[in-house]
Amino acid sequence: MWFFNAPEVVYGEDALSYLDDLPGRRAFIVTDATLHQLGFSARICEHLQRAGIDSTVFAEVEPEPSLQTVERGARQMTDYEPDWIVGLGGGSALDAAKAMWALYERPDITPETISPTYRLGVSKAKLIAIPTTSGTGSEATWMVVLTDGEQQRKLSMGNRELSPSIAIVDPALTAQLPPALTADTGIDVLTHAIEGYTNNWHNDFCDGLCLKAMQLVFDFLPRAVTDGPHDIEARERMANAATIAGLGFGNSFAGLAHALGHSFGAYFKIPHGRTVGLFLPYTIQFTANLGAGRYPELVRFLALPVEDEAKCGLVLANAVQALARQIGLPTRIADLGISRVAFEEALPTLVSNGENDNSVLAAPRMPDTSEVQRLFEYAFEGKSVDF
């Protein structure tokens, strides 16, 4: 038995005004210090005030949120007793809000024990997710990624009951994103779409969503990076793409690029989108070299020129890297300023955490330990994968 989870999605111009008529008593807003200082949380509070809802703000979420931050926020949430939780920000704030919500509902559990295998029984509050980046798709999924700072690793977890009740996708919130952040988060959307379509848990309900999200990224991400504050259409279409991809891969799964990216990003503290996007072409080639994957379908959908179907994986990987170069992203680890010495010192940890990441579960080609190591090494040098 399978399930398709989706929030009510409010999108487009002036979507934030939906909050003006929200029923409820108290809202606990989870965000980061920068968005709070820029006045984003104040805007949310104003809308909630029009609805007669009191609110408080927890603005302590860091990039790649830690277990400790989640536990601290959950304690404050428990004291405030909200009936609405509002996650405001990128994937870090939205994931932190989900995890805090779980602990608020179930004070008997810890963040790392959140699992899809048992019933949480949420009843105290509902979650509204308001993304301010066009990337993670966390507003449309029940998955959570946190960081264990002590062990320098990422923890992937989730529960279907943690799917937001409402996602508010207002492109005005992403209009001023800097080009580098637009690129980082945008390539994350592409990775979600491609892995959501090609992993072993792909399904009819998600395929169309993943295809559309992929198309939107190729068409609009370069424009959003180049002229984001002024190209409202590109911002809106990328905001839509992020949520659409979230619905797609969130009801399918991720894949090997996420496993390697989680491991690498947590160790070297590199933004999530940049790492998964960097590894995506290498994992596409690795999968296609065994004849696995659905890459010919993606190549045909994108109308990429190819004469030999056996080369579709390479063609798609090259298209991803061409897009990355166009928007100023690195295509090999060495371009991130990480030395060979530092990389080789980290390699055993990278391999161990990568092969144990949950994202490998549905990979269409499962690598062994030596292959995981070689994928990291090839990505460091920027070599085409030949194994």
Domain contains 387 = no
Check whether 297 has a pLDDT greater than 80.
Answer: yes
Check whether residue 165 and residue 185 sit in a common domain: no
Which range of residues forms the domain containing residue 272? 179-381
Which tens digit of pLDDT belongs to each residue from 229-264?
A: 999 999 999 999 999 999 999 999 999 999 999 999
Check whether residue 257 and residue 299 sit in a common domain: yes
Return the CATH number at 129: 3.40.50.1970
Tokens of 318: 């090259």
Name the percent of the chain lying above pLDDT 70: 99
Name the percent of the chain lying above pLDDT 90: 88
Distance of CA 72 to the CA centre of its chain: 23
Check whether residue 188 and residue 112 sit in a common domain: no
Report pTM: 0.95
pLDDT tier, 109 (very low <50, low <70, confident <90, very high otherwise): confident
Measured CA to CA, the distance from residue 75 to residue 221 in angstroms comes to 39
Check whether 376 has a pLDDT greater than 80.
Answer: yes
Total count of domains within the chain: 2
Check whether residue 228 and residue 185 sit in a common domain: yes
Domain contains 1 = no
Check whether residue 170 and residue 252 sit in a common domain: no
Mean pLDDT rounded to a whole number for the chain: 95
Check whether residue 161 and residue 12 sit in a common domain: yes
Mean pLDDT of 200-226: 98
Residue 60: closest CA among 38, 13, 93: 93
Check whether residue 227 and residue 291 sit in a common domain: yes
Check whether residue 170 and residue 204 sit in a common domain: no
Check whether residue 167 and residue 186 sit in a common domain: no
Check whether residue 75 and residue 118 sit in a common domain: yes
Which tens digit of pLDDT belongs to each residue from 110-165?
A: 888 888 888 888 999 999 999 999 999 999 999 998 887 777 677 888 889 899 99
pLDDT, position 292: 66
Return the CATH number at 316: 1.20.1090.10
Check whether residue 202 and residue 133 sit in a common domain: no
Domain boundary among 152, 174, 196: 174
pLDDT, position 95: 95
Domain boundary among 117, 146, 174: 174
Check whether residue 301 and residue 219 sit in a common domain: yes
H helices of the chain, in order, are 33-37, 40-50, 67-80, 91-105, 179-198, 204-227, 232-250, 256-268, 272-288, 295-301, 312-326, 340-355, 369-381
Domain boundary among 121, 140, 174: 174
Which tens digit of pLDDT belongs to each residue from 171-205?
A: 999 999 999 999 999 999 999 999 999 999 999 99
Which tens digit of pLDDT belongs to each residue from 40-87?
A: 999 999 999 999 999 999 999 998 899 999 999 999 999 999 999 999
